[in-house]
Amino acid sequence: MANHYRSTEQMVIRCAKELIDGEVVFAGVGLPLLVVCFAMMTHARHITLLTEGGSVRGTAPPGLAITVDDPVLFASGDATFGMTGAMAALQRGEVDLTFISGAQIDRLGNINSTGVGNWEKPRTFTYFAGSGGANDMATSGKRGLIIIPQDPKKFVERVDYLTSPGFIGGAGHREALGMLGGGPAVVVSTMGVYRFDAQSREMYLAEYFSGQSVEKVRSFCSFDLKVSRDVKETESPTEEELTLLRELDPKGFYLS
């Protein structure tokens, strides 16, 4: 086990383990691109990777992707489907795992990537970016994986703007709206791993990273965090994992 690594490195390496070999994965911009690439070069070599830019590929991209229509996602890819063609796979129910990030997440797994403040009072509203394809992924993927750095401003009781649906208002809400996908399954932060209760649909802490504690994670969360009775410490990344990850992002575009 390695001793010296960044929390972002542990986040990426732990997150990659949630990808199952053979799955169809739809990845959003940012950290998800690095995680999928890492997974495709380690335990999950048979992933079908789709992105909003329209790339469809069954092999790891030949370089570090910065955008979801980065030329490296298309070079030696299997198909260039365009945004409509690639994203239609979501609506057809073909995507096993969707993978997004965001600016805020609440205890029901709802994501905000639009901005903070009160939309109805524009002077108070600080815009970030918008949905991009995150909403479509969160609506229709069979299960959702979310990667988001731990921060009390990011883990909130209620998102300021609901951009991408988690379990919305609670159990049964997605079903009532006829959503195709099952909703978020896992959240990985820089401090731990969260899952969702099958009944209440509330997020709970399932693992905390080595060097962290349940109390410390709680203090980086703005809502009353539920904790699994079986909560455990996440294994530290191995030297091999860290070496590969640092080769993928040697200048720290994602990791610093």
Catalytic residues: 52
Q: Answer whether 112's CB lies under 8 Å from 103's CB.
A: yes
Q: Answer whether 190's CB lies under 8 Å from 8's CB.
A: yes
Cβ at position 29, least distance to other proteins in Å: 8
Q: Write out the residues near other proteins by the rule CB under 8 A.
A: 29, 52-55, 62, 66-71, 74-76, 80-85, 87, 90-91, 114-115, 119-120, 122-123, 125-136, 138-140, 161-165, 168, 173-174, 177-180
Tokens of 230: 């079986």
What DSSP character marks residue 170?
S
Nearer of residues 20 and 83 to other proteins, judged by Cβ:
83
Owner of token pair 């229709």: 140
Nearer of residues 117 and 222 to other proteins, judged by Cβ:
117
* Sequence-ordered strand ranges (E) for the chain: 24-27, 48-50, 55-57, 79-80, 97-100, 104-106, 111-112, 115-116, 126-127, 143-147, 155-156, 184-188, 192-196, 203-209, 226-234
Rounded to whole angstroms, the Cα distance separating 16 from 38 reads: 7
Nearer of residues 184 and 237 to other proteins, judged by Cβ:
184
Tokens of 206: 């399932």
Cβ at position 153, least distance to other proteins in Å: 15
Nearer of residues 98 and 190 to other proteins, judged by Cβ:
98
Tokens of 71: 């030329």
